[in-house]
Every structure is written in structure tokens, then in C-alpha cells.
Chains A and B, each alone.
Chain A
Amino acid sequence: MTQAKVPAWVSIALIPFINVMLAFFVSALVILALGEDPIEAAGYLIYGAFGYDEGIGYTLYYATNLIFTGLAVSVAFKAGLFNIGGEGQAYIGGLGVGLVCLWLDSSMSLLVIIPLAIIGGALFGAAWAYIPAYLQARRGSHVVITTIMFNFIASSLMVYLMVNWLKQDGRMSPNSRTFEESAWLPYMHEMLAPFGIEISASPLNAAFFWALICCVFVWGLIWHTRWGFQLRTIGTNATAALYAGIDNPKVTIWVMLISGALAGFVGLNEIMGVNHSLLLNFTAGYGFAGIAVSLMGRNHPVGIIIAAILFGALYQGGSELAFEIPSITPEIVVVIQGLVILFSGALENMLKGRIEGLFIRKSVA
């Protein structure tokens, strides 16, 4: 077939790059329509995100959340499943992390709490993904719809738990008590200080390393295990997988459990790393942003890290931008995010044929 003649770098790098550029181009048009100079805006964005070490810290802190949710979406994508419930899984995962911290913070040391919090976040996140996964695998209900419904159920459940059970007495806002310091993930600036490296204080914390470890884990799992092969086979052709003797429902459930667990780790960064207490709405749309990250990163851990840092930079640079140009809100970042989903996801076929055609003709001649 003609497809084989298209050079690999065209489909892996060039087409995604062009799609993202298209999204940025339309974003620039939006900024232009607001009567501002897109080049100047981009300058503030880049400076805010990378121009000074506090900005870089914030960028990577946002990126940490996005790596977790991006990985969560991509693992499911690889198996042909659309996990749109990252938001709810992250929310409940954070509950798991928070409960471990509230339970052990005064009796245990950090080294004991960290692995237990990781397990807590993973278990709670996975549990929240389990029901939609089970229903998809065994009862044929569509995972997209059920995970959407579970996002809302998670949100109501958290409000109920926070208001009725976990709220600290005497507080107006539904926050739990602040954890003892033995349950705080160390900040990056604290960790680097003993080595003589001085950086400004930022919310960047040890969860970032866990995010990178998760990337390696996902990479190994998907491309270097038999189980990962089964997962990819289902994603490519579910019928073929069935004939090859793969237990589709079982793999489907496992994929969703891992996806939910990865999303649940957002709680490590947000609850244990930064807020140090359980609170409402700490997921702040990271679950949905994970879809954009995953699409832009082509469902590969390396791509996801790059995309997560880029989106982290947009989040951080966006606040800088809003500060410098008051007529632009940080919400412009949400617009850019949506445009990336549109062009790299929904419209990915728009230019594909034409660009590929260009290269096929060349190789024939």
C-alpha cells in the first residue's frame, strides 16, 4: 500500500507538529481579535514560563499533574478506550492520598507515608475507574458515557464527604485539617538546598520525580511486556485480538485500573505536595487537560512529557500574560488547550492525506 512509503518522521513528527502549529495560529488570531499583539503575548508567555527559576518551578509543577493525567488518558487510548473520567479519578485518588496522610501524619515518618500514599492514591483512583471499566467490559455500556457520569458522581461525593465528615471544625470553607509536616512531600527547593543549589521557592515537589518514574513504567509496560502487546492489539483491532486468544474484557478492566491509578496520582502533587490538606476542586480541570496532553504527545511517554511541559508553560505563562496585559484572562490558555484538542485530535485527518501525498510522490519520482 501507499502508506508504507511515507517516511516515519513525517507521520511521527511533521504532521503532529503542523497540527499543533495550526492550533497556535488560530490562538494567535484570537489574541489579535482581542486587539493585542500575539507576538508580544507569546513573549510574555515564554518569559513567564521559562524566564526565571520560580517560573520554571511553577511550569514543572503544573506539568507534573498533566503528566499523570496525560499518561492516564494515553494508556486507555492505546487500548482503544477513551477515559474521559480522569477528572473524577484524580479527585477520588486525591481523597485516597489525603486519607492516608490524615491517618498517619502524626504517627509515622515521611518514608513510610510516601509509599502508602502512593498506594492510597492508586487504589482510590483505580477503584473509581473500575465500575465504568467493568460495565464496559462485561455489560457493554460505553465507557465514555459512564466515565462522564462518574466525574459528576465523584464531585458530589467529595462535596458530601468534605462538608459532612472531613471538614475541620470551626472552618468556614470545607477544608480538612492541615497535615503534620511529616506528611508533606519535600519541595524541590528544599531538596536541592543541601547540595548547594539555590532556587527560588515554588510548588514544584518530589511528585515530579514520581511522574517521571510513571512515564518509564508506562513505556516499559506498553512496549516491552506481553501484556502491553495484548493491550496494543486490542487497541488496533479488537476482533483480531479476540481471535488471537486475548481475553479482551479482562485486559480492558486492567487498562482502566491502571489509567485510573495514574490519574489518582494527581493527589500526590496537589494534596500531599502543595495544599497539605484535603479540599474541594483541587483537580481544576487537569483531567480534561490530560486529553489534550495525550493527543499532542501522540500517546507516547516522551511526547507526553514534552506536551505536559508545554501545557504547564501555558498555564504558568498564562498568569504572567494576564498580569502584563490585563485585557487577556488566564482562560485564554483553556482556549489554546481546546484548539490543540481540535486540531491534533478531531481534525488530525484534515491535512494528513495531503502532506503524505506530497512525500509519496517524491519517493516515487
Chain B
Amino acid sequence: MFETLILILDATMRVSTPLILAALAGLFSERSGIVDIGLEGKILGGAFAAAAAASVFGSAWVGLVFAMLASIALALIHGFACITHRGDHIVSGVAINTIVAGLTVTLGLDWFGMGGQTPNLSGDERFLSITFPFADALADVPVIGLIYSELLSGHNILVYIAFICVPVTFWAIYKTRFGLRLRAVGENPHAVDTAGISVAFLRYRAVIICGILCGLAGAYLSTAHNAGFLKDMSAGKGYIALAALIFGKWKPVPVLFACLLFGFLDAVAVRMQGVSLPGIGEIPVQAIEVLPYVLTVLLLAGFIGKAIGPKAVGRPYVKERA
């Protein structure tokens, strides 16, 4: 029983990683007032760039850099439309998701001729799992041994980076001057402008950070969690991350727990396939799959607490002129 639990939690960490990265990406963007439903597209674009570059240059790290660059480029398009030209944030996000869904397959076929996939990655082209010191030696120690060797050790570096990103984000948002201004620009851009700080420049920096984090999430999918890019491999993770962002009320630590909860549900759903529970019978996998969405809808409806986003989110900022 305990071992099963540890295995599920272990899977939870792996499944949650892209969600955490993408949700934090969304946090930076939305806290600055830019709605981002293009997380999905940026993850997918990042995943493709990572796998393509990793297979060409033979290094997962090069892949990671390309993933970030691709994702930043997409974020800048979003910024250009929403910040510079005051376009609709939702429309722009949909556009980015659509373009990336088509472009990754188109370029993939042209470059690799494998029906839109990238070649299988192996060795240095992937981020492999890191085994902590003494993990094998301690594996037999009751309770702690299993936690240390299974749960904490044996993930790839991006998993650890994702979890480190949470306190870093907390610090950046709440403890730095940049973070204070970022939060202010999402709540009341006029006040920020009055203080002599550029609203546009702040928001551009926010979407760039968003791009970097989505690139990490994408690289994780194609070069760490899987061995190569597959068509539509983000499979709605960007939207679940968005749900987690709302569920975590746009705050770093609650967002982490929301991602872990949704990841946990995912891991449980895999385990529950075909398992019959005593007294309840078999729970359809789909029922567990939809829980993140249902919970988010319930939260938004105000049935579990209240989700109030940044005040100026989604509204274009027009500088007042005398």
C-alpha cells in the first residue's frame, strides 16, 4: 500500500512538472495584465524546437535553449498584438495555438520526413534521470529509504528546476521591485504609468519570462518525459495549467498545489484503469480525467472559495493624453 502510494506520488511529480512550469509562466503573464490562453501553443512550440534542435545538434541543452527561443518568439508575437496594438488577448492566444499546431507538423514533415514527428532521441539528446548519492544504498531503509530513492531521487534535472522555480517565483513576485511593479501593472496600470514606469516595457518583460518558462515545459515534454516530438503532444496541458493558475488564485504556492493536485489526479487515473473498488465498482477513467476541469468550473462559479484575478487583466492599456 505504502509502496503504491509512493509510486503514485512519484508519477505525480513527473506529470506535474510541465503543469508547474506552464502555470508559473501564466502567472507572470496574467499578473502583469496579459491573459494567456496561448500557453498550450508555446509549450507545443517549445517541445518541437527542443526535440528538433536536440536531434540536430545532439545535445539536450542546445534543445532547451532553442525551446526557450521559440517560445519567447511566440510570447513576443502575443505581446506585440496585445501590448503594442491593443488586440484582444483571447483572440491572439487562439491564433498562436492554431499557428503552432499547424506549423510544428508542417516543419516537422519538411525537416525530418517522418509524418510530423522528430527522430527518436537517445543518450545526450535527452535529459536523463539523476540518481541522488546513496539512493540505491538507502533504498532498503524502511519508509525514508523508499521516499528518498523513489520519490526524491531519480528524476531528470527539469523536474527539480520546476520545483525550484516556485520559491524563485514567489521571491520575484513578492520580494523584488520588479515583482511589486509587475503586480501593480496588473491591478492598476494607470498608477504605474503615473509613477513614471513604462507599462508596455514591464508587460513585455512579463511575457518574455512567460516564454522562457513555457519553453522549459515544452523541452521537458519532448526531451525529458518523452524521447522526441509527437504531433499535438502538449495534449491540453497548457489549458490544465491555465486551470491550475486559476485554481491557485494566481499565487505561486497555491498554484504549485493545484498543479500537484491535477497531476495526482492524472497519475491516479492511469492507475485506476480497470481497477474495481470495493463497494463502488469500477470508476470510469474519464470521470477522474475531467476532475481538474470540473473543479475549476466550480471554483470559478464561486462554489469553492472565490477566484479573483488581477483587476486589469485582459484590458489593453491606453496611455492618457492631455
Residues of A within 8 A of B (CB): 30, 34-35, 82, 84, 131, 135, 139-142, 144-146, 148-150, 152-153, 156-157, 159-160, 164, 288, 291-292, 295, 327-329, 331-339, 341-342, 345-350
Task: Please give the distance in Å from A170's CB to the nearest CB on chain B.
Answer: 20
Q: How far is the CA of A274 from the CA of B204 in the complex (A)?
A: 48
Chain B positions within 8 Å of A334 at CB level: 98-99, 101-102, 105
Q: Is the CB of A337 within 8 A of B90?
A: no
A338 to B77, CA, bound (A): 13
Q: Is the interface of B mostly helix, strand, loop or mixed?
A: helix
Residue in contact with A135 in the complex, picked from B100, B106, B242, B300, CB distance below 8 Å = B300
Q: Which of B170-178, B182-190, B291-299 contacts A (4 or more CB under 8 A)?
A: B291-299
Chain B residues engaging chain A, CB cutoff 8 angstroms? 37, 77, 80-82, 85-88, 90-92, 94-103, 105-107, 109-110, 113, 116, 236, 239, 242-243, 246, 284, 286-287, 289-290, 293-294, 296-297, 300-302, 307
B106→A149 contact, CB < 8 A = no
Among all A-B residue pairs, the 6 with the closest Cβ atoms: A334-B102, A338-B98, A338-B99, A346-B92, A141-B300, A335-B102
Q: In the assembly, what is the distance between CA of A219 and CA of B290, in Å?
A: 37
Output the least CB separation between A122 and chain B (Å): 23
> A145-B246, A346-B85 known; 16 other A-B pairs, CB under 8 Å?
A30-B103, A139-B300, A140-B302, A141-B297, A141-B300, A146-B297, A148-B37, A157-B290, A328-B110, A335-B106, A336-B102, A338-B99, A338-B100, A341-B95, A341-B98, A346-B95
Q: How far is the CA of A75 from the CA of B245 in the complex (A)?
A: 29
Q: Which residue of B lies closest to A351 (CB)?
A: B85
Are A157 and B242 within 8 A (Cβ)? no
Residues in B with CB closer than 8 Å to A336 are: 102
Cβ contacts under 8 Å, B302 to chain A: 139-141
Q: Which of B94, B100, B109, B307 has the most CB of A within 10 A?
A: B94
Q: Are B103 and A335 in contact (CB under 8 A)?
A: yes
Is there an interface contact between B99 and A339, defined as CB atoms closer than 8 Å? yes
The verdict on A148 contacting B300 (CB below 8 Å), with A84-B94, A341-B94 known, is no
A-B contact list, 16 entries, CB within 8 Å: A82-B88, A135-B301, A139-B300, A145-B296, A148-B239, A149-B243, A149-B296, A150-B297, A328-B110, A329-B106, A334-B102, A338-B98, A345-B92, A345-B94, A346-B81, A347-B87
Minimum CB distance partner of A138 in chain B: B301
- Which residues on the A side are within 8 Å of B82 (C-beta)? 346
Chain B residues within 8 Å of A148, by CB: 37, 239, 242
Bound together, the chains give a CA A348 to CA B100 distance in angstroms of 20
Determine the distance from Cα of A295 to Cα of B95 in the docked complex, in whole angstroms: 11
A131 CA / B88 CA spacing, docked (Å): 24
By a CB distance below 8 angstroms, the chain A residues around B90 are 82, 84, 144
